[in-house]
Amino acid sequence: MGRAREIDTGMEGFRFWPGALSASEQTGLLGAVLAAEASAPFYRPVTPGGRAFSVEMTGLGPLGWVSDRAGYRYQPTHPVTGAPWPPMPDALPDLWRDLTGWPEPPDACLVNRYRDGAKMGLHQDLDERDHGAPVLSVSLGDTAVFRIGAAGGGSTRTVRLASGDVCALTGPARLARHGIDRIIAGSSSLVPGGGRINLTLRRAL
């Protein structure tokens, strides 16, 4: 990741590097994720209320975010296989260090896959111990219509996240309300079978 150029989002703490990853970096990262899928398959979690997410999830690294009838949490094992999550490819902690400068490496990478029609409702990420640590997002595949607004409520706006784009949520934007309205099907041919894969790097514990 040589030359990521940050653009001004106009929202304090919402940092955005469009096109941060080259085509070969995207292919390499996607290959690592799809290789990990053999031992950590995508699955559809349910909310504590019992509704299935339309997004399919898996994880990489020491901890993974899970949701079931018991609630939301981070845990060291895949909820379906019971096995430890596969390691993160080195490119991810490297990217985290280069772009966020945060002194500790991420201990969790949530992998979200959006196939046809999947979306994610407006929410805040509150399950991490230290809300001072950033979250870093890497988009691969089809473009997403991402919605974001201040933590306290009020207006929201949309930003398109395309394959190879990276964004970080830091400082006052860390508790922003955000979600994915929709995926623009066919906008990229990167992901086999179509759709979008998003990686979020976090400090969970």
Alpha-carbon gap, residue 19 to 42, rounded angstroms: 26
Find which of ligand MD3, Fe ion, none residue 88 binds, CB within 5 to 8 Å per kind.
none
Interface positions with ligand MD3 (CB under 6 A): 110, 112, 120, 125, 135, 137, 144, 167, 169, 173-174, 176, 178, 180, 198, 200
Report the nearest approach of Fe ion to the CB of residue 22 (Å): 26
Partners of 178 in the beta sheet? Answer: 123, 148
What is the per-residue binding string for Fe ion in 125-144, x denoting contact by CB under 5 A? x-------------------
- CB-based contacts of 95, cutoff 8 Å, min separation 6: 1, 20, 136, 138, 166, 201
Provide the minimum distance between the beta carbon of 99 and ligand MD3 in the complex, in angstroms, as a whole number. Answer: 14
Q: How far is the CB of 191 from ligand MD3 (least distance, A)?
A: 13
Q: Exposed/middle/buried for 186, CB within 10 Å: 0-12, 13-18, 19+? A: exposed
Q: Which residues bind Fe ion (CB under 5 A)?
A: 125
